[in-house]
Amino acid sequence: MSAPTPYHRVSPQTGGILAASGLWLADDHVLQIRSTAVQEHYERIYFRDLKAVLVTDSSKRDLLFFGGVCGVLFFGFLAFIATLTETRAGPGIYFLWFVTLISLATSILAYLRGRRRKVYAVTALQTIYWRTLIRQPQIDAFLARLRPLVEAAQATLPKPEPPQPQQQPPQQQEPPQQQQQPQPPQPSQPQPPPQPQPTTPESAPAQPA
């Protein structure tokens, strides 16, 4: 009985209660598990088959960052107005400043996590979207681990021979056609004068008596 393949978690599991995704790294492949309430999908990509890893910008905005900035502006403005108008600080003012600080810390944390990205693994037959890799520092750390494993796995593969150019058969050259030299015009021979035909007595004209 073969020993079970050891797996190492690449990134925290993303998703919610109804759907979740996880990425795992083994000795010779990367495994992504997408689970729902009723089923699971396993997507494996072996290192020897990996052609490229594409990283693109995500169209989704970082709601955590923008929510924190909006909280700072809104609650900070209310806390500032309340501080100027109230002669004595009450629990309401402390609550507004507390929410402002929480919003500021949330926006700073979201900014330090980096921009949102999308990562695709490309093989000769398929392209798989790795859903758990969404932050640039996280992606850089994963690619640093993945690159030497892929290079070691593909180093033993036979290198494809470059296609040789097809040799065309030599074309037979036709011998150059000899140009016919114009012949000089030959002098025309003089034709003999027509000879008089003999006249018979019947055909001779009658002489006057």
Question: Which tens digits make up the pLDDT trace of 31-68?
Answer: 988 888 788 888 899 999 999 999 988 766 677 788 88
What per-residue confidence (pLDDT) applies to 209?
A: 47
Phi-psi region of 100 (alpha: psi -120 to 50; beta: other; left: phi over 0): alpha
List phi, psi (to 5°) of 19. Answer: -150, 140
The pLDDT tens digits along the chain (209 residues) read 456 668 888 877 776 667 788 888 888 899 988 888 788 888 899 999 999 999 988 766 677 788 888 888 988 888 888 888 876 667 888 888 899 999 999 888 877 776 788 899 999 888 989 888 888 888 888 999 999 999 988 887 777 676 677 767 666 666 666 666 666 666 666 666 666 665 555 544 555 54
Q: Which of 206, 195, 32 is nearest to 119 (CA)?
A: 32
Burial environment of residue 142 by CB neighbours within 10 A (0 to 12, 13 to 18, 19 or more): buried
Structure tokens at 132: 């758990």
Give the SS3 label for residue 186.
coil
Q: Rounded CA gap, 91 and 100, in Å? A: 14
Q: Which two tokens stand for residue 112?
A: 């330090």
Cβ–Cβ < 8 Å for 139, 117: yes
93 neighbors 83 (Cβ within 8 angstroms): yes
- Inter-residue contact 38 to 32 (CB < 8 Å): no
Q: What is the pLDDT, as a whole number, of residue 18?
A: 73
Q: Which helix (H) or strand (E) segment is 46 a member of?
A: strand 40-46
Strand order in the sheet with 117-122: 52-57, 117-122, 127-130
Q: What is the DSSP letter of 135?
A: B
DSSP state of 37: S
